[in-house]
Structure 1
Amino acid sequence: MKLLKRPGPRPGHCGITLAAAPLGTVLLALPLGCAVLGPLLADAPASGVSAPYATSDAQHPLGTDGLGRDVLALLLHGGRSALGMALGAVAIAYLVGGIVGLLAASARRRWADELLIRPLDVLLPLPTLLVISVVAVGWRGSPLAIALAVAAVNVPPVARLVRSAALDAASSPVTEALRLQGESPIRIQLDHIARSVISPVAADIGTRVTLAVFLVGSANFLGLGLNPTAPDWAVSISRGREGLLLQPWAVLAPAAMLVMFTVGLNLLADRLLGRSRHRTQEVVR
């Protein structure tokens, strides 16, 4: 009688996972480096410095946009608003939604759980872009208001994710023992329950940031956010589409930055999840 062996990892799977780490780092480092260091490397782009839709030359390596501004200078100055608003919105969503989700999972009474989660359900069926549009019009395209609107529409799904992931840990015998020993609720939340949501949050954060980049970019692209002449990647794409055939770099360069950021972030998130799953399998064996 032949014994069945436990199936191991698929051939080539480990290599693909390892290769994703440096690729994701490079893809993520380029737009982040551009957003952080770009304004220090180039002067703010000014209108009319050259002919509109000029082709590449020694003075303007990527040409100029429809207002005669250097595309490379726009690229170096456009990342802070594009990525800053999205990352800030996701950070606020996880801060608020994470706290609400952990409190709901740890609630000893069902009514307390319902009181925390049900009000957030009101935001779930609302069209996201409609909420952002109303906020943008009401606050005249304020970047802070748009970031808060994007954070608000992401709080309910984040809270539900954290609550679902923390339910088992919050009702486990370990948690009950810690409560009987007189441990403070904050320490129980941080030392035990919060650890159970790390993997689900890591799996979600790449998608959540990608969605935030899309929403912030869509608001700026539709003219609901920043000033139409602002050096923002999404605004540059919106303005550059008018002369796409004359000056494709005005659209392709900022679009490539957004694509590299989202792809690189998701590759690194998948890499971290793969390492966590591999450690778990080793412990089980």
Structure 2
Amino acid sequence: MKPRAAARRTGRGQAVLGAALLTVPLLLALAGPWLAGEPGPRGVSFTLGDGHWLGTDFTGRDVWRQVLLGGRSVLLTALAATVLAYLAALPIGLAAALTHRTWLEEALLRPLDVVLAVPSLLLLLMTAALFTPGAAGLALIVAAVNVPDTVRIVRAGATEAAGRPAVEAMRLQGESWWRMAIGYVGRSMLRTLAADAGVRLTGALYLIATAAFLGVGVAPDAADWAVMVDHNRTGLFIQPWAVVVPALLIVALTTGTNLLADAALSARRGGPAAPGRTVTS
């Protein structure tokens, strides 16, 4: 009982801290564009005040307004990439776990090993060299980069459930593949997927921020937190707020997401068994 109680306490602490870290960047990303208002006249001001709460950047744009506008693109692109990765990975991973045909499993998994062998940043740069992706294209690229790892997590989580007597009984009763895969196996690994989703979202945020920092998939003058860090880093000691504030918001977003994912994993380890876990003889 003590390890379970400790796991629950750890999970609650991680959940509270993660939620606290996520609150500010999420609020700014979702409500910021409505609070930003119309752009005022440009003027250079590296000190707080003078009508600019955080001063201006080197082009004379209000830093606070750029902060309000810059989170939505990062967050929405990362969420879209994570959802797309799972939409592609779930059927592949479940099919690999449930099939009894070795050749089919190899055909599903071996091509993904090729993608996994290429560094994600290199794949991103290679794709960007062929065409200029927008936000939608960037989300697709990041999703494709995350699919191989996601398939492996799905397959590993589904393999144990796929070997239970209940699944074999469903086969003998003629249940559909979707009912076995989604209705039973998928439900049994919801906590695993919830924990992994935080890792996937963090990886997507990292790649998107890196791409924006390198000018891939994001306009050079876009209101974007990663672009702000890139464009203002040379003047860090003159106007630190244009770099520090968006950088801290990205760190809070990724760290908070990881903490919530760890809390979900702690709940899985120390909490009650997942639905369908108990098998009676």
Query: Aligned residues, how many?
Result: 276
8 Å CA contact 1:143, 1:225 repeated in 2 = yes
Superposed, 1:12-31 pairs within 5 Å as 14-31=8-25
Measure, in 1, the Cα distance between the counterparts of 2:56 and 2:254. 26
**2: CA distance, partners of 1:200 / 1:11:** 20
Instruction: Give the whole-Å Cα distance in 1 for the aligned partners of 2:84 and 2:130.
Output: 21
CA distance in 1, matches of 2:31, 2:110: 43
Q: Deviations over 1:217-265 (max 9, x none)?
A: 1111012221111000000000110211111000011011111111111
**Correspondence for 1:172 among 159, 164, 187:** 164
Q: 130-139 vs 147-156, which deviates more?
A: 130-139
- 8 A contact 1:64–1:71 mirrored in 2: yes
- Which residue of 2 is the match for residue 108 of structure 1? 100
- Following TM superposition, by how much is the alpha carbon of 1:200 offset from its aligned partner in structure 2, in angstroms? 2.7
In 2: Cα distance, 1:199 partner to 1:132 partner: 30
Find the aligned partners of 2:203 and 2:151 in 1 and give their Cα distance: 16
8 Å CA contact 1:44–1:77 kept in 2: the answer is no
1:50 to 43, 48, 51: 43
1:213-228 pair list within 5 angstroms: 213-228=205-220
Quick one: distance in 2 between partners of 1:45 and 1:138?
35
Give the Cα–Cα distance (whole angstroms) in 2 for the partners of residues 229 and 239 of structure 1. Answer: 9
Considering Cα pairs closer than 8 Å and 6+ residues apart, tell me whether 1 or 2 has the greater RCO: 2
Q: Could you say if the C-alpha distance between residues 281 and 172 of structure 1 is closer, same or farther in structure 2, counting changes exceeding 3 Å?
A: closer
Give the 5 Å matches for 1:101-180.
101-180=93-172
> Is 1:261–2:253 an aligned residue pair?
yes
**Identity percentage over the alignment?**
44
Task: Find the partner of 2:230 among 220, 232, 238.
Answer: 238
Q: In structure 2, which of residues 26, 29, 36 is the aligned counterpart of residue 32 of structure 1?
A: 26
Q: Which runs of 5+ in 2 are unaligned?
A: none
Task: Give the match's secondary structure for 2:237.
Answer: coil
CA distance in 2, matches of 1:45, 1:219: 26
Q: 2:200 matched to which residue of 1?
A: 208
Task: Pick from 46, 62, 68 the counterpart of residue 70 of structure 1.
Answer: 62
Using the alignment, how far apart are the partners of 1:45 and 1:234 within structure 2? Answer: 20
Asked whether the equivalents of residues 135 and 146 of structure 1 are also in contact (C-alpha less than 8 Å), the reply is: no
Q: TM-score, normalised by structure 2?
A: 0.90
Matched residue of 1:280: which SS?
coil
Letter in 2 for 1:74: Q
Paired position in structure 2 for 1:98:
90
**Aligned partners of 2:219, 2:229: CA distance in 1, in Å?**
13
Task: State how far apart, in whole Å, the 2-side matches of 1:45 and 1:132 are.
Answer: 33
SS class of match (1:124): helix
Alpha-carbon distance in 2 for matches of 1:45, 1:71: 11
**Separation (CA, whole Å) in 1 of partners of 2:12 and 2:62:** 38
**Residue number in structure 2 paired with 1:185:** 177
1:14 CA drift (Å) = 4.8
CA RMSD, 1 decimal: 2.2
**For the Cα contact (< 8 Å) 1:45–1:231, is it kept in 2?**
no
